[in-house]
Amino acid sequence: MSEETERTYGAEFFRSWLETAGAAVDREADRLTELDSAIGDADHGANLKRGFAAVTADLEKETPATPGAVLVAAGKQLISTVGGASGPLYGTLLRRTGKALGEAEQVSRAALAEALGAGVAAVAQLGGAQVGDKTMLDALVPAAEALGTSFAAAREAAEAGALATVPLRARKGRASYLGERSVGHQDPGATSSALLIAALAEVAG
């Protein structure tokens, strides 16, 4: 058994993940907004920046005791502070992943992979989208699956999934209004999802 397989992750790890994700969103906000200006309404960077600032401030006040509670609290912040479609979708992702982790104080990578799978399924249900529709799911679905192998595999799968949205025609969300004109642009939500998964891999080291 490798070291990574045996390792478990507590509330502090999850707080670090969300803070690192928030820093990445801050750093890449202009790029996310640029991508959203091509096939959306140019607010994705600002939306996530606002949401993750609220998540970070909330977790600084008091970090919940379990991984599940950290993710549920962060999901609630995203739902209440992000105006765009991505707020309820990312909020649902974190809340449902957190709920699937239950009350455990420490979770394994395998348990997180399974919980993230449940979170991703909830996003698909809420938004009615599936892989190939040019949404965040194009990064999240392969990432959750690859997390069963390793954190690094999840990061690579998310990045590949985000890149693979370029030639797709959007079938959900604002970009779908553009029809064929959405082809040739990378989906902003798939790009931010890849950032979140990269932050997870970074914190896992």
* Residues that bind Mg ion in the complex, under the rule CB under 5 A: 36, 40-41, 43-44, 84
d(CA 154, CA 140): 9
Residue 195: what residue type?
L
Selected from 47, 56, 66, 92, the binder of ligand ADP by CB under 6 A is 47
Of the candidates 91, 90, 178, 165, which has an alpha carbon nearest to the alpha carbon of residue 135? Answer: 165
Q: Are 88 and 76 in contact, with CB atoms under 8 Å apart?
A: no
Q: Taking contact as CB under 6 A, which single stretch among the options 13-21, 38-46, 64-72, 143-151 is the one that binds ligand ADP?
A: 38-46
Binding partner selected for residue 157 from Mg ion, ligand ADP, none, CB under the kind-specific 5 to 8 Å limit: none
Q: Are 98 and 68 in contact, with CB atoms under 8 Å apart?
A: yes
Binding partner selected for residue 161 from ligand ADP, Mg ion, none, CB under the kind-specific 5 to 8 Å limit: none
88 binding ligand ADP? (CB under 6 A): no
49 binding ligand ADP? (CB under 6 A): no
Selected from 107, 113, 116, 136, the binder of ligand ADP by CB under 6 A is 136
Q: Give the residue at shortest CB distance from ligand ADP.
A: 189
Element holding 77 (H helix, E strand): helix 67-81
Selected from 41, 65, 125, 167, the binder of ligand ADP by CB under 6 A is 41
Q: Are 44 and 86 in contact, with CB atoms under 8 Å apart?
A: yes
Secondary structure of residue 107 in the 3-state scheme: strand
- Binding to ligand ADP by CB under 6 A, coded x per residue (else -) over 116-135, reads -----------xxx-----x
Q: Smallest distance from the beta carbon of 8 to ligand ADP, in angstroms?
A: 31
What DSSP line would sit under 140-189, residue for residue? HHHHHHHTTT-HHHHHHHHHHHHHTTTTPPP-SSGGGGGGGGGTTS--HH
Which residues bind to ligand ADP, rule: CB under 6 A?
A: 36, 40-41, 43-44, 47, 84-86, 89, 127-129, 135-137, 172-174, 187-190
